């Protein structure tokens, strides 16, 4: 978990906001400071043909009070700086949303990368890279308050 957290911090530090490049998408993908959101982490495929059996999310700076919303057939977990879903099975090519409830911090940066590790049995895909990486982290764009 410490390695995951360090990799997530490195990914966030160099991220350029291009959310459409991620294979895990966010809905909504825009927010305002202070807003409480149910952020859908939308998974559209497994790992090289294998079913998705878990998802771990590093909670980045800029999101506060983050908790996983329960999903039928999956167990949720909460650890320091990380939440997750495990124990289910999402077949490759099947789309599903895993919901993260969080508050956007008042001083949140313009783009918040949300590092995700997608687990597929004994395989995993680390969606923690910058926007131009093969496995980019999905990005929440923070817009100025109106």
CA 22 to chain centre: 10
The pLDDT profile of the chain, 146 residues, written as one tens digit per residue, is: 554 444 444 444 444 343 333 489 999 999 999 999 999 999 999 999 999 999 999 999 999 999 999 999 999 999 999 999 999 999 999 999 999 999 999 999 899 999 999 999 999 999 999 989 999 999 999 998 77
Q: What is the pLDDT of residue 20?
A: 39
Cα 58 to Cα 133: distance, rounded to the nearest angstrom: 18
Cα 52 to Cα 33: distance, rounded to the nearest angstrom: 32
∠ at Cα 88 (6, 73), nearest 5°? Answer: 120
Domain 2-138 grouped into CATH 3.40.50.720: no
DSSP 27-83: ES-EE-TT-EEEEEEEE---BTTBPEEEEEEE--TTEEEEEEPP-TT-EEEEETTEE
Can you give the pTM of this predicted structure?
A: 0.83
Residue 125: strand, helix, or coil: strand
Cα 126 to Cα 41: distance, rounded to the nearest angstrom: 14
Q: What is the pLDDT of residue 23?
A: 87
């Amino acid at each position: 978990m410490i390695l995951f957290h360090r990799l997530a911090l490195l990914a966030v530090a160099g991220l350029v906001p291009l959310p459409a490049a991620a294979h895990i998408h966010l809905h909504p993908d825009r927010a305002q400071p202070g807003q409480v959101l149910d952020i859908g982490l939308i998974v559209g495929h497994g790992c090289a043909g294998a079913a998705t059996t878990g998802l771990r999310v590093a909670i980045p700076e800029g999101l506060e009070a983050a908790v996983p919303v329960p999903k039928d057939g999956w167990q949720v977990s909460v650890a320091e700086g990380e939440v997750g879903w495990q124990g289910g099975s999402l077949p490759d090519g099947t789309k599903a949303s895993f919901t993260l409830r969080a508050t956007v911090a008042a001083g949140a940066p313009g783009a918040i990368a949300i590092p995700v590790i997608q687990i597929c049995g004994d395989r995993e895909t680390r969606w923690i890279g910058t926007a131009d990486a093969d496995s980019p982290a999905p990005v929440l764009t923070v817009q100025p308050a109106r």
